[in-house]
Amino acid sequence: MQLRNNLPNTPEISTEELTLIDRYWRAANYLSVGQIYLLDNPLLKEPLKPEHIKSRLLGHWGTTPGLNFIYAHLNRMIRNRDLSMIYVCGPGHGGPGMVASTYLEGTYSEIYPDISEDAEGMRKLFRQFSFPGGIPSHAAPETPGSIHEGGELGYALVHAYGAAFDNPNLIVACVVGDGEAETGPLSASWQSNKFLNPARDGAVLPILHLNGYKIANPTLLGRMTDEDIEHLFRGHGYEPFFVEGHEPADMHRQMAAAFETVFDRIRTIQAEARDGTVSEGFPRWPMIVFRSPKGWTGPKEVDGKKVEGFWRAHQVPVSGCREDDKHRKVLEDWMRSYNPDDLFDANGRLKEELRALSPGGERRMGANPHANGGLLRKELIVPDIRDYAVPVKTRGADMVQTTEILGKYLRDVMKRNDANSNFRIFGPDETESNRLGNVFEVTDRVWMEKIEPYDVHLSRDGRVMEVLSEHLCQGWLEGYLLTGRHGLFSCYEAFIHIIDSMFNQHAKWLKVSSELPWRKPVSSLNYLLTSHVWRQDHNGFSHQDPGFLDLVANKKADIVRIYLPPDANTLLWIGDHCLKTWDRVNVIVAGKQPEPQWLTMDEAIRHCEAGIGIWDWAGNEDGAVEPDVVMACAGDVPTLETLAAVCLLRDAIPELSIRVVNVVDLLALQSQDQHPHGLSDEMFDGLFTTDRPVIFAYHGYPYLIHRLTYKRTNHQNIHVRGFIEEGTTTTPFDMTVLNELDRFHLAIEAIERVPGLKDKAGSVIAMLEDKLAEHTRYVREHGEDMPEIRDWKWKTSKTVG
């Protein structure tokens, strides 16, 4: 079976042009090697001496020449066709290549004037790379034109698709390394072509760079036959074109021809979709399979061992060049093989005929504004949250699906920003399940495969992205945000851990970006975590894990926020607030099941603005003296159980003075010097007292509250209950009992912690323990909670308002 595409006869590509491109490529390679090795003597005006060499040789050469080769040829296409293109560099540790190519096109010096286009600038360019106080070794926020770090492999292609959505005139060239191609997230990313609509979205051109080796092994795809590669990518729905070899002149001709062909295909696909010729199915987008030697043009052998075309070229192909004269000679020969005098003038400036090869202005990939998305970001148009407020006349009387209310708000956000095409909702097949289904009144799920007549809310133009891969949801959204748009990721709480490491990397990106004045702010990454630990009625233990918040709290304080709204009106305020922020990661945890509602909209606004507060309608302190006990809560289920515990206590021990504190902005618990939202010690002490017992019911693992509050005066008296890793499929209330977060345990602990009360209230404790036992008997008998639990209502002690 012959599947493989044969490239058409090379169109009008002159040998002269290809020779120029080859020189441009050599210039990029020269600059890449210089960055890894040289402290000085950048133009090799004199023989290399030990003092010209860095004392620590760091960086990754192996992938770099291939990256430079692709960059140079993409420049040709941009110039010839006036394309708007960005370059996603999957092998991000090929940082020297991205830096070299953006330096050659002039963008680097525009952003960093100190790195000028002359010998002195080149010296600094070399020196700063992977050097203390300089730039990191990977493509990074510091790198012009980059929206992708690539240090953690797996996310290049999904970032590329995220960038292309709703950018009809953008082409995202995405280099996928064959190491990266082994990862799970990248393996799934190929499916993104089934979510890209050529009529409204841009194009992604995947360039699978098979250089055959990882750190110390061949790669799986590198060793696959072309036939298997062809099958695999046809199976994924692509049309692969092969560029293979090592002889530069031949490779230039192949690559130029392949690019002519694939950019023609892209133009045709887009034209047919946009003029309506084709309106069914997803197109067979072209892709390039680029086989070139690892460490191409570098030393063939060092000390008798194979280097070029092998994994030994992965990092620094020849080491010890400062100490070892022979190795230094290898380096010098290697660098001179690029013939720097043929590339740069006497002042170190790229020769004019080569300068002419890069596009101009914002067409340069290092200067394309899509890669600095904050430049293009438009504020989201949001409605007034008061229009969606749940009326609360009697506290806790009505049961409302909290996330459903947010869904109505999101529907209108979707509608109001439709003309700007800059808002999408992402989730692993759970938008409806998470009760956000109202958005389907104004949009659909995007679906490019076949649509059946009985399908529901699927269309080619949908703005809800659903796929059963948290990695894809996260990666698409990152790419979408980094190119200047807005979005929300709604996810089952437990499974957000699947993207822990992607979250880490995005938080790192934001931290570094926010320190670079030329990087403009991008919209925050907003998570709505629902179907949370306390309500996994269908699924049980595997779906019960609230630990993502612990991970988030480890990141730089000015990047992260954690919100635990107790009801619908607070969720509305928080959702609205998060959508308006930038350069942050906002995590909202809110249940999707019917829950009692506590605060009016006005109260919710005040409460959320403060982030934390006393619910005086719930407590019974007289205000003159400190209460006997503080019942604190964070999260919807803990709030419910705390209020139920307060009722039990107030009924049984009316003389007990109780304060209820609710926390909605979790990091307010931290000190002001640790987090910008942190309360001052005075305010904290004002809420939690300096010496009264605090019974704190918390949504997640209890330890987080301790580590947030350990510096507070009253910390010794803060007793936290939360999820202690006891789970299964059982009733919602039984889940709280198994983890001792239920009303009865809370009330018992309050009694036990108030000095002197335990002895007096022994009969109350006995009553509460009986209730616990009665619950357990009942639930095991009936499979549901006791009526008094199911029908429990807050006893309004003060009227609302």
Window 506 to 545, contacts with its own copies (CB under 8 A): 508, 511-512, 537-543, 545
If phi over 0 gives left and psi between -120 and 50 gives alpha, with beta otherwise, what is residue 22? alpha
Q: Which residues pair with 272 in a beta bridge?
A: none
Among 200, 706, 758, 793, binds its own copies (CB under 8 A): 706
Structure tokens at 12: 């009008």
CB of 387 to its own copies, least distance (A): 27
Among 60, 463, 677, 771, binds its own copies (CB under 8 A): 60
The alpha helices in 129-196, defined as continuous H runs, are 156-164, 184-189
Query: Under rule CB under 8 A, which residues in 386-445 are in contact with its own copies?
Result: 429-433, 445
CB of 488 to its own copies, least distance (A): 17
Rounded to an integer, what distance in angstroms lies between the CA atom of residue 145 and that of residue 139? 9
What H or E segment, with its residue span, contains residue 562? strand 560-563
Alpha carbon 233 to its chain's center: 26
Among 146, 315, 372, 600, binds its own copies (CB under 8 A): 315
Among 12, 46, 113, 456, binds its own copies (CB under 8 A): 456
Tell me: does residue 731 bind its own copies (CB under 8 A): yes
# residues contacting its own copies (CB under 8 A)? 126
Query: Under rule CB under 8 A, which residues in 103-142 are in contact with its own copies?
Result: 127, 130-133, 136-138, 140
Tell me: does residue 710 bind its own copies (CB under 8 A): yes
Tell me: does residue 157 bind its own copies (CB under 8 A): no
Contact (CB, 8 A) for 473 and 467: yes
CB of 150 to its own copies, least distance (A): 8
Tell me: does residue 370 bind its own copies (CB under 8 A): no
Residues 6+ apart with CB under 8 A from 46: none
Provide the edge-to-edge strand list for the sheet that holds 239-244.
Answer: 84-89, 170-177, 203-210, 286-291, 239-244
CB of 489 to its own copies, least distance (A): 15
Tell me: does residue 42 bind its own copies (CB under 8 A): no
Q: Which is nearer to its own copies, 57 or 572 (CB)?
A: 57
CB of 217 to its own copies, least distance (A): 5
Half-sphere CA count of 430, side-chain side, radius 13 A: 23
Structure tokens at 360: 């101009």
The phi and psi torsions of 695 (rounded to 5 degrees) equal -100, 110
Tell me: does residue 362 bind its own copies (CB under 8 A): no
If phi over 0 gives left and psi between -120 and 50 gives alpha, with beta otherwise, what is residue 445? beta
Tell me: does residue 556 bind its own copies (CB under 8 A): yes
Q: Which is nearer to its own copies, 345 or 725 (CB)?
A: 725
Say which residue the tokens 């286009």 belong to.
117
Q: Which of 188, 565, 199 is nearest to 400 (CA)?
A: 565
Angle, helices 568-580 vs 601-610, to 10°: value is: 50
Q: Which is nearer to its own copies, 786 or 800 (CB)?
A: 786
Tell me: does residue 554 bind its own copies (CB under 8 A): yes
Among 49, 246, 274, 780, binds its own copies (CB under 8 A): 780
Residue 437 one-letter amino acid: G
CB of 161 to its own copies, least distance (A): 14
Among 143, 505, 526, 530, binds its own copies (CB under 8 A): 505
Contact (CB, 8 A) for 313 and 294: yes
CA distances from 344 to 65, 118, 252, 466 (A): 18, 9, 21, 51
Rounded to an integer, what distance in angstroms lies between the CA atom of residue 533 and that of residue 494? 7
Tell me: does residue 79 bind its own copies (CB under 8 A): no
Among 236, 435, 519, 699, binds its own copies (CB under 8 A): 236
Tell me: does residue 19 bind its own copies (CB under 8 A): no
Q: Which is nearer to its own copies, 408 or 471 (CB)?
A: 471
Largest CA distance in the chain: 98
Segment near its own copies (CB under 8 A); pick from 214-222, 381-389, 637-645, 766-774: 214-222
Tell me: does residue 219 bind its own copies (CB under 8 A): yes
CB of 747 to its own copies, least distance (A): 22
Tell me: does residue 740 bind its own copies (CB under 8 A): no
Strand pairing class (170-177; 305-306): unpaired
Query: Under rule CB under 8 A, which residues in 682-701 are in contact with its own copies?
Result: 701
| First-to-last C-alpha distance (Å) of the chain | 77
CB of 650 to its own copies, least distance (A): 29
Three-state secondary-structure class, residue 659:
strand
- Indicate the burial class of 654 (C-beta count within 10 angstroms; 0-12, 13-18, 19 or more): exposed
Q: Which of 312, 255, 340 is nearest to 61 (CA)?
A: 312
Tell me: does residue 58 bind its own copies (CB under 8 A): yes
Q: Which is nearer to its own copies, 96 or 613 (CB)?
A: 96
Q: Which is nearer to its own copies, 127 or 745 (CB)?
A: 127
What H or E segment, with its residue span, contains residue 718? strand 718-721
CB of 286 to its own copies, least distance (A): 16
Among 22, 110, 418, 550, binds its own copies (CB under 8 A): 550
Tell me: does residue 226 bind its own copies (CB under 8 A): no
Tell me: does residue 553 bind its own copies (CB under 8 A): yes
Say which residue the tokens 């269309």 belong to.
459
Query: Under rule CB under 8 A, which residues in 648-687 are in contact with its own copies?
Result: none
Among 234, 349, 363, 793, binds its own copies (CB under 8 A): 234
Q: Which is nearer to its own copies, 427 or 596 (CB)?
A: 427
Among 17, 110, 120, 182, binds its own copies (CB under 8 A): 182
Across 247-321, the runs of DSSP E, i.e. the strands, are 286-291, 301-302, 305-306
Tell me: does residue 703 bind its own copies (CB under 8 A): yes
Q: Which of 571, 547, 464 is nearest to 498 (CA)?
A: 547
String marking each residue 563-602 x if it binds its own copies according to CB under 8 A: ----------------------------------------
Supply the Cα-derived Rg of the chain in whole angstroms: 30
Q: Which is nearer to its own copies, 81 or 497 (CB)?
A: 497
DSSP state of 381: P
Say which residue the tokens 């996810």 belong to.
491
CB of 595 to its own copies, least distance (A): 17
Among 378, 393, 707, 798, binds its own copies (CB under 8 A): 707
Helix/strand/coil percent split, the chain, to 5: 40, 15, 45
Q: Which is nearer to its own copies, 419 or 456 (CB)?
A: 456
Tell me: does residue 151 bind its own copies (CB under 8 A): yes
Contact (CB, 8 A) for 95 and 88: no
The dihedral built from the CA positions of residue 398, 403, 406 and 408, taken in this order, carries a sign that is: negative
Among 223, 246, 326, 795, binds its own copies (CB under 8 A): 223
CB of 570 to its own copies, least distance (A): 26
Tell me: does residue 54 bind its own copies (CB under 8 A): yes
Among 9, 14, 361, 454, binds its own copies (CB under 8 A): 454
Q: Which is nearer to its own copies, 542 or 680 (CB)?
A: 542
Q: Which of 470, 472, 448, 447 is nearest to 457 (CA)?
A: 447
Tell me: does residue 6 bind its own copies (CB under 8 A): no
Contact (CB, 8 A) for 439 and 411: yes
Query: Under rule CB under 8 A, which residues in 463-502 are in contact with its own copies?
Result: 466-469, 471-472, 494-495, 497-498, 500-501
Among 734, 743, 744, 771, binds its own copies (CB under 8 A): 734
Tell me: does residue 323 bind its own copies (CB under 8 A): no
Rounded to an integer, what distance in angstroms lies between the CA atom of residue 801 and that of residue 165? 46
Go through 773-795 and write b for each residue having 16 or more CB atoms within 10 A of its CB, e for each that does not: eebeebbeeeeebbeebeebebe
Torsion on CA atoms 161, 166, 167, 171, rounded to nearest 10: 30
